[in-house]
Every structure is written in C-alpha cells, then in structure tokens.
Structure 1
Amino acid sequence: MLKFMSWKEYSCGEYSYYAAFLFFIIFNLVFIKPVIADVGRIELYTIQSITLTDQQFLMGKKNGNPVTISGELRYPRKIMKKYPVIVLVHGSGGVSGYVDDWAQEINKMGVAVFILDSFTGRGLYKVNNDQSKLGRLAMIFDAYRALDLLAEHNRVDPKKIAIMGFSRGGQVTLYSSMKRFQRLHGSKHEFSGYIAFYPSCITQYKEEQEVVDNPIRIFHGGADNYNPVVTCRAFVNRLKKDGKDVVLHEYPNAHHVFDYTKLVKPIVLKKAQTTRACRLKEVDEGVIVNVKSGKDFTYNDPCVERGPTIAFNRAAYDKTKQELSNFISSLFQLL
C-alpha cells in the first residue's frame, strides 16, 4: 500500500514523473543550496488512494477509482530519534511556491514536513478554473492515507503529526477534523493539530460540529474575496459554543494567499472559479444543495463567480509567522 521507491523504479516509464521530480530535487540540492539549507534529508513516497466524488465520500463509499499519488518527506538538519511532522496540503493551484516557502520555515523550527501532491497522480496540474475536475472532499481521503504512512514510519513520532493546508487544502485540513469523516475514511491514528489557511467554510455538513478535541487554528484575511472569512467566523463560533479548541486569526485588509511573498502586486485571477456567493448544505444521500435555490449544487450554479484576487500582505504574513511558530512550538513541545 505504501512504498518508498528505488532509483530503478524511477527510471521506468511508469515513474517518469518521479524521475523528473527527483532530477528537480537533486538540481536544487546541488545548485540552490542556500534556498533549502535547512533540509537534512529528502524521501519520496507513493501512496495508494482512491478518487471519490463528494457524494461517494459523504456516503462512505470505497468504490472510487484507484490512484497512486505522491509525497515528499523533508527532514530538518536537526538530528532526532523521532521527528514531529506537518503534512502540507496544497490548494487549487497545486504545489505552489508558498507551500515550499512554508516547508522551509517549518524545517527551520526543527520539524519535518510531508508535502502531499494530490494532483499529479490524477493527471491534474491545477483546478482553479474548473473546480469540478476533482471533488472537494477527495483530498481528505488522501490526507488520511498520508497519516497512515507517516504514523508507521520509524523516524516519525506518530503522536506528533499535524496537518496544514492552503485554500482548497485548508478546507481539507479543517474538515479532516470531523469525527464522522474519520469514522468513514480515517486512519487508526489522528492528527495532533489542524492548521487551515484561508479555507472555504460555505458548506454545512451533517455532524460538522462534532470535531476532534485536538487544536484547530485558522489563518484568514479580512479582504479575501476568493473564500470570504465571514462563513468561517460563523463556523468557528459554532465550534466554540461546543467547547472546541479552535482559534480564528483574521487579518484586516489581507487577501487570499496573503502569505506568498513573491506576489509583488495583487493579481486578479479572471478565469478562476469562486464560490464566495454560494451557501451550501448537505442533505440526504450525501447530496450538496444550494441553500437559496434548494437545487443540487454544481459548478454551473449561478452562484459560482470568477475573478478573485490574490495578494501578499506583509503585516498579515509577519503576524502569521509569529502566531504559527508559537502554535507549533507549543503543539510539539519544542525546546
């Protein structure tokens, strides 16, 4: 089920992607050492997963299409018997530059990272412009399988594996904390913490308030017009009423992807789909409906718009780095 690949396998046609990926890693290690100076060792893995529609996922089905996805485990230079690890889950644009940036920052803290790639194995590059290419919940299944892998790894502390995701990956992170989803598709292990960057909170799932007791942290921008923060505020308030350990860090004037330092000026993604005007709800048989119309939701729904903005925000980024460092240090009891 879980497999570490040899060089011979990389050279086969079936693994041509991984051969190219390995070349990229070696190139970076040799020629761009200062950029990843805090990485002590890198391992590449394949993971057997399945591709489920949202309805299949919500109904607990396991008859989706089998797929082999991949992940990269980066250790910090600090030598430890057992490493704490954070699983990084990308957004609709795939494994983007800011994911790599955060991987480096986390390695500096003495924490390993596992960069999960849910797209390449499915033949996807990005889904910003057509979100229907992959169900919103399929990547939660992937995240649980990554947890399986890491919890069984002899160099990883199984009680110190957290998950951190961005946008679509933030939504994955947030809802992977639901006990119902863990019963349906989860691991025998549990993430020790959940860190969601600018997730979408527009969908009310059944039993959504029954989340694990481990801490949940959300980092969001007040000016986000891709995944507006307002629905996340309401979600957090519902969880707090149930006594859950959840905190929303909201930054005024910060847009989507406020943490990507290379965004020197705001960009309007004219073709990218956004469900900012939608309010969705799960009904019987795992069906998601538009609350306003009562009709089954699809990405042809009139509430789906285009043209969200992404923009770096220095103040929000600096504050997030501090808040995140404090949280990770406390979560993993780092010295």
Structure 2
Amino acid sequence: MFAIVRGVRFLWLVLVLLCIPRILYAQGTRMEVIPFESMTLTDEAFLAGSEDGKHVTIAGELRLPRAGTDRLPAVVLLHPSGGIGGQVTDWEQWFLSLGVATFVVDSFTGRGITTTINDQSQLGRLAQIEDAYRALSLISRHPRVDPSRVMLMGFSRGGQGSLYASMIRFQKAHADAATPGFAAYVPLYPDCSAHYLDDDNVAKAPIRIFHGSADNYDPIAPCKAYVERLKAKGADVELTEFAGVNHIFDGRAFAHPTPLPKAQTVRNCAWEERSAGQLLNVKSNLPFSYTDPCVERGVIIGYDENATEQTKKAIANLVTTTLKPTPAPAPAP
C-alpha cells in the first residue's frame, strides 16, 4: 500500500511541477521535487552508445542545506534495488549537515517499478547511469549548485551505476559534453561481475568503493580484481573492505542479519562484453539472461555500525578535499 501511495504522490508532484518549475526555482526553496526526462535503454542499447530508447519522466528531490544565493557543492544519490529506503535518506541528511546539497534520483516510480529485488530484469543494469548523467546536467543549471563540485554516490544497484558512470566511454556516448563531469564517484557494495570494453579507462576523479567481505549479494572479489586493473592504469581508486560485513551495511532498519530468500543475485555469474552492445555469459558464451543457471536466489543483508561510521569518516574527508563545502555566509549587519 505504501508503494501505491508513494507512486500516486509522485505522479501528482510531477504533474504540478511540470506546470510551475520556474516558480519553484525563483522562490529558492530548500526542497524541490524536480521532474526531468531520461531514457529507458536496454543494456545492449546503452553499451552500443544508442540514445534511441523509451522516453520517460522521472524525478529527483533536491535539498539545500541552507537558504541564500551562494552556489553549493552537491551529491547525486542513486538508490538500490529496493528503491529509496532508509539508508538513502540517512545519507541525505548527513550530507546536508556537511553543507552539501543532495539530489536523490528516483529511477523506479516514473517507470512503474516498485522494486527489482526479486526480478532484476525489469530494468537494465546500466539504466541508472543514464539517469545520473541527466541528473547532473539538470542540477548543473540550478542557480544554487556549483556544477564543478557535484559527486555521484550509489548503493548496490545504484552503486554499480555510480561505479561505471566513471567510464570515459560511457561519458562520451551518454553524458552532456557541456556539463563538467562528476567530481568524485562513491559506490557502496556494487556488483562488479561484468567486464565491459574499455572499462579500465575511467575519469581522473577519485573513485572510492566501500564493501563488506561477507557480502553474498554482490561479492567483493570481482570488485577487488577490477580495482587492481584500474590501479594498473593509474586511476585514483580505493576499495575499503570491512571484514565480516554484509550487504546494505549502512541500513539501520536491518539491525540484525536479514534473509531475502527470493532476491536475485548474480554472485556466481561472470559477464563479458565481447563487442559493443553484446554482453555474454562467460560460462555459456551466450547472451546473458536472468534465466541463466548462474542467477541464484537468497541473500543476507544487515547493518553494521562500525562499517557505517568508518565509511562516513572516509567520505567526510573526500567531501572536504574534493567538494570543499564552505560555511554559511555571515548575515549582513
């Protein structure tokens, strides 16, 4: 029922905001729900560099840490397979406390999706990268956002999006060339099981990955291998591993390890892009499908306070050195 109510509310907001976006901008509100156009592309189309897909209107929630006229650093947040949950809103509030604006992108509701946990085939695994690039182009034109100080952060499915959004090849094919790129990329517990063409050619911006060694949803081993390849090419990338920590380690709602028996996982899959747009299952040498035998069900998620706090400390340092938030201007005498 909650999902239905949220969906109705989203559609109502989109219809209203489409009629009055200039008023919202002019008012300089501290919270804006902003609809924007994106594209629903299959993974094959995205990899081929195509922008010929189904047009869709999605929305993001922009929150500003303070009123004023100064330009602020910002972070674009990409949600996991369960949609916008508690850990996303927790991070939203945390960034605001640092003086960083937040733009939480809802990649699901506008597409008629509630969750992909049990059926990942509902949306291409690279679709959130398209959304991220379009979100960056959108908020870069906002009068309160500094386009040179925008970071991308994502969780699980969104973490995968925030990781591979750093690829130069994808940026050239899908990002707005007139917009500065993301200032940093912060994936939490992403899936790294796919090997894309030219995926070791990434942006010069910092890439900071946080992952648990006990994660049986998106195991850490493929991410370690990918990070080593990136480092060999000179990328500014770091992987922080937390021993014995599960998936969604920053989700306070999951105080104890929680089984998701029907959740799809590709933990035993390996994919490889052999030619542009052709993603094959390495074991079968056939096009990958969620009906492949390597796709399994049943995972564990669970909160870990220490891992969460250590992640916050590391990201706070990244924010200080990369986004450089400034104190609020002193009031006029």
TM-score normalised per structure 1: 0.88
Secondary structure at the counterpart of residue 81 of structure 1:
coil
1:158 aligned to which of 119, 123, 147: 147
- Contact 1:275/1:303, CA 8 A, preserved across alignment: yes
Q: Which residue of 2 aligns with 1:19?
A: 12
Q: Which residue of 2 aligns with 1:327?
A: 318
Once the two structures are superposed, what CA deviation does each residue of 1:34-71 show, in whole Å capped at 9, x if it has no partner?
xxxxxx81011111111100001011112211100000
Q: Which residue of 1 aligns with 2:135?
A: 146
Once the two structures are superposed, what CA deviation does each residue of 1:274-331 show, in whole Å capped at 9, x if it has no partner?
0000011011241111112211110000000111110001211111111111111111
Does residue 261 of structure 2 align to residue 270 of structure 1?
yes
Gaps of 5+ in 1: 1-13, 23-39
Does residue 93 of structure 2 align to residue 100 of structure 1?
no
Rounded to whole Å, the distance in 2 between the matches of 1:134 and 1:91 is: 12
TM-score normalised per structure 2: 0.88
Please report how far the alpha carbon of residue 85 of structure 1 lies from its aligned counterpart in structure 2 after TM superposition.
Answer: 0.4
Does residue 80 of structure 2 align to residue 87 of structure 1?
no
Rounded to whole Å, the distance in 1 between the matches of 2:110 and 2:14 is: 12
2:170 aligned to which of 181, 195, 214: 181
RMSD of aligned alpha carbons: 1.8
Gaps of 5+ in 2: 1-6, 16-28, 327-333
Rounded to whole Å, the distance in 2 between the matches of 1:285 and 1:205 is: 9
Rounded to whole Å, the distance in 2 between the matches of 1:331 and 1:145 is: 22
Please report how far the alpha carbon of residue 16 of structure 1 lies from its aligned counterpart in structure 2 after TM superposition.
Answer: 5.3
Instruction: Report which structure shows greater RCO (CA 8 Å, sep ≥6).
Output: 2
Q: Which residue of 2 aligns with 1:127?
A: 116
Q: Which residue of 1 aligns with 2:4?
A: none
Identity of aligned residues (%): 47
Rounded to whole Å, the distance in 2 between the matches of 1:234 and 1:244 is: 14
Paired residue type of 1:286: G
Closer, same or farther: CA 286–42 of 1 in aligned 2, 3 Å: same
Secondary structure at the counterpart of residue 186 of structure 2:
strand
Rounded to whole Å, the distance in 2 between the matches of 1:267 and 1:73 is: 31
Please report how far the alpha carbon of residue 333 of structure 1 lies from its aligned counterpart in structure 2 after TM superposition.
Answer: 2.1
4+ runs deviating over 4 angstroms: none
- Contact 1:75/1:113, CA 8 A, preserved across alignment: yes
Paired residue type of 2:109: T
Q: For structure 1, which segment, 114-123 or 325-334, has the greater mean C-alpha deviation from structure 2 after superposition? A: 325-334
Rounded to whole Å, the distance in 2 between the matches of 1:207 and 1:47 is: 30
How many residue pairs align between the two structures? Answer: 306
Paired residue type of 1:65: K
Q: Which residue of 2 aligns with 1:203?
A: 194
Please report how far the alpha carbon of residue 150 of structure 1 lies from its aligned counterpart in structure 2 after TM superposition.
Answer: 1.0
- Contact 1:221/1:229, CA 8 A, preserved across alignment: yes
Secondary structure at the counterpart of residue 213 of structure 1:
coil
Rounded to whole Å, the distance in 2 between the matches of 1:144 and 1:80 is: 25
